[in-house]
């Protein structure tokens, strides 16, 4: 099974200061056909205007990952953590028994563009925690760079679920393949640029649910000056929502 979730069909929230596209049901956007994929519950592509953001609010029993595409995102939480997240940074916040946080555009002049990803944890009641790591573009170029995993291996952030999160950057006509074990599910998320996936054309914002395939091959199809950026979620197919 290979099912494409076109970017233009995602849910939309446009609040003036926030432009957000939802791959899965979220807030006022309710789509019974798109409630998540395995433990992957939310992929929101957010663009926040300068100086604006999300006031302090609470979360519980969720792994929340922020992945900045352009700009700078300022984070503060009830654990005492304060940070600025920029392109190349990957942030994970385990909400667990409960945490409160805020997210604001750190710039007064330029918008911030980022993905907010929610993954259902392997169990309820985890101790809240925070982690942030940086990965260079060279780490990702032309290969699957592990940026998140259950055991925090290879310098990745720790995700409390049977999920391996990879990122890659491809130049025009550059190809990259991946074997897909039968017992794993895969979600592919286009971050920027455009690729060909096994003959199918994908563009920024598109997502793909993959199950039961043995392998995939991506080929970048941008201009010589641009690159394509892709996230891949490798998930145990027994890692179902709580």
What's the CA gap between 204 and 150, in Å, rounded?
27
pTM: 0.96
Q: Cβ neighbours of residue 80 under 8 Å, at least 6 residues apart?
A: none
pLDDT score at 222: 83
Q: What is the pLDDT of residue 129?
A: 97
pLDDT at 242 over 50: no
pLDDT average, residue stretch 89-103: 97
pLDDT at 239: 53
Give the CATH number of domain 2-236.
Answer: 2.60.120.10
Residue 5: which of 27, 22, 19, 20 has the closest Cα? 22
- The mean of the pLDDT values for the chain is 95
- pLDDT tens, 155-167? 999 999 999 999 9
Domain boundaries, the chain: 2-236
Mean pLDDT of 139-150: 97
* Mean local confidence (pLDDT), 187-196: 97
pLDDT in tens, 30-88: 999 999 999 999 999 999 999 999 999 999 999 999 999 999 999 999 999 999 999 99
- CA 96 to CA 93: how far, in whole Å? 9
Strand partners, 117: 43, 65
40's tokens? 């992957």
| Under 8 Å between Cβ of 148 and 169 | no
pLDDT of residue 182: 86
Report residue 224's pLDDT band, with 50, 70 and 90 as the boundaries.
Answer: low
102-137: burial string, b at 16+ Cβ within 10 Å, e else? ebbbbbeeebbbbbbbbbbbbeeebebebbbbebee
Q: Whose structure tokens read 């609470």?
A: 58
- Alpha-carbon span 99 to 173, nearest angstrom: 44
% of the chain with per-residue pLDDT over 90? 93
Mean pLDDT on 204-217: 96
Average pLDDT over residues 132-141: 95
Q: How confident is the model at residue 238 (pLDDT cuts 50, 70, 90)?
A: low
What is the 3 state secondary structure string of 23-75?
CCCECCECCCCCCCECCEEEEEEEEECCCCEEEEEEECCCEEEEEEEECCEEE
């Amino acid at each position: 099974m290979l099912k494409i979730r076109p970017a233009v069909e995602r849910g939309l929230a446009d609040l003036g200061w926030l432009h957000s596209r939802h791959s899965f049901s979220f807030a006022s956007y309710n789509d019974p056909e798109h409630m998540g994929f395995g433990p992957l519950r939310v992929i929101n592509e957010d663009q926040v205007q300068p100086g604006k953001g999300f006031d302090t609010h609470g979360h519980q029993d969720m792994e929340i990952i922020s992945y900045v595409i352009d700009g700078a995102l300022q984070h503060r939480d009830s654990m005492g953590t304060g940070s600025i997240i920029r392109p190349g940074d990957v942030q994970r916040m385990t909400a667990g028994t409960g945490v409160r946080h805020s997210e604001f555009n750190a710039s007064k002049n330029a918008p911030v563009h980022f993905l907010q990803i929610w993954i259902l944890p392997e169990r309820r009641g985890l101790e809240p925690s925070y982690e942030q790591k940086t990965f260079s573009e060279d780490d990702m170029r032309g290969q699957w760079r592990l940026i998140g995993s259950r055991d925090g291996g290879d310098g990745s952030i720790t995700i409390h679920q049977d999920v391996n999160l990879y990122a890659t950057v491809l130049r025009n006509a550059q190809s990259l393949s991946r074997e897909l074990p039968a017992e794993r599910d895969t979600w592919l998320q286009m971050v920027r640029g455009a690729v060909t996936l096994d003959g199918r054309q994908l563009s920024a914002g598109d997502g793909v649910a993959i199950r039961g395939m043995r392998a995939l091959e991506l080929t970048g199809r941008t201009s010589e000056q641009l690159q394509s950026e892709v996230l891949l979620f490798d998930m145990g197919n027994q890692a179902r929502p709580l």
